[in-house]
């Protein structure tokens, strides 16, 4: 048996959430924001095991003009094999309006052995929108090889693409994904994107952040941090330190 479920969030100015609808394994809870009454916070709570093979999950988020929203999660998402070998799909679709802000800070996605997941994240930003987005993938649970995981992350600003990248790991992925030029044996991979509301006068130069992370400027006043690490804890430390270095006063966990 497979599952289709969609969760929807609409954030309005003043900390209002006119739409907060969860389905199936995607339960949504309004939680207290450290940023005060004008900033909404929603926590995604896994109500059942998902995604399994064949499942189709989606999260749709709209941050209206002038609104501020943080979305996080209560626990990691674990991609698991289903009874019948099938691909699972998880789509995140986000729109952020003028002078609005979204902090998208889920927990890790764990690709368990035998799973097969296609995950896409698409973000459309207004010209003055602000974004902090973190994605983390853990390849296999402790002591196991990973499943098959394909991800695509697309960010557009005023309709123009500023980032469009695909990653593939595990059985069925192009050869060399675990070689020294890619993961080098690491099992945790992460991306952090920070987009300012307007183009900055001067952007950071590309540079290494320690031995396994790199910061790259993006068009339209943003930065991308890409990192690998031996495990989820080490990866989070790298990304948290990077976030602290490129933002000021932005909530993060």
* Top-confidence residue, 103 or 141: 103
What is the distance between the alpha carbons of residues 155 and 153, in angstroms, rounded to a whole number?
7
User: Residue 250: pLDDT above 70?
Assistant: no
What is the distance between the alpha carbons of residues 36 and 58, in angstroms, rounded to a whole number?
28
User: Residue 192: pLDDT above 70?
Assistant: yes
* Top-confidence residue, 249 or 84: 84
pTM of the model: 0.91
Per domain, the residue ranges of the chain are 27-185
Q: What is the pLDDT of residue 245?
A: 82
User: Residue 152: pLDDT above 60?
Assistant: yes
Q: What is the pLDDT of residue 202?
A: 58
Q: What is the pLDDT of residue 251?
A: 44
Token pair of 25 as six digits: 């394994």
For residues 184 and 228, the answer to whether their CB atoms sit within 8 Å is: yes
Residue of 102, 119, 123, 111 lying closest to 57 (CA atoms): 119
Residue of 56, 61, 64 lying closest to 28 (CA atoms): 61
User: What is the pLDDT averaged over residues 43-51?
Assistant: 86
Q: What is the pLDDT of residue 199?
A: 55
User: What is the pLDDT averaged over residues 177-192?
Assistant: 86
What is the distance between the alpha carbons of residues 191 and 229, in angstroms, rounded to a whole number?
12
């Amino acid at each position: 048996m497979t599952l289709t479920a969609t969760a929807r969030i609409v954030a309005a100015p003043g900390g209002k959430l006119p739409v907060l609808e969860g389905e199936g394994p995607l339960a949504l809870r309004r939680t207290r924001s450290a940023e005060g009454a004008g900033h909404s916070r929603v926590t995604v709570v896994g109500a059942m095991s998902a995604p399994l093979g064949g499942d189709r999950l989606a999260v749709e988020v709209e941050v209206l003009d002038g609104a501020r929203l943080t979305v996080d999660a209560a626990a990691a998402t674990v991609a698991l094999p289903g009874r019948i070998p099938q691909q699972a799909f998880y789509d995140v679709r986000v729109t952020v309006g003028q002078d609005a802000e979204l902090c998208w800070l889920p927990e890790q996605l764990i690709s368990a052995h035998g799973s097969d997941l296609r995950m896409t994240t698409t973000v459309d930003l207004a010209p003055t929108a602000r974004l902090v987005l973190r994605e983390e993938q853990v390849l296999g649970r402790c002591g196991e090889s990973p499943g098959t995981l394909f991800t695509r992350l697309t960010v557009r600003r005023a309709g123009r693409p500023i980032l469009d990248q695909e990653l593939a790991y595990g059985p069925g992925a192009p050869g060399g994904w675990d070689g020294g030029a890619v993961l080098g044996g690491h099992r945790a991979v992460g991306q952090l994107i920070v987009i300012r509301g307007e183009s900055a006068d001067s952007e950071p130069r590309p540079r290494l952040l320690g031995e396994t992370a790199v910061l790259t400027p993006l068009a339209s006043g943003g930065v991308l941090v890409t990192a690998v690490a031996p495990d989820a804890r080490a990866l989070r430390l790298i990304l948290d330190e990077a976030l602290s270095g490129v933002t000021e006063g932005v909530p993060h966990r």
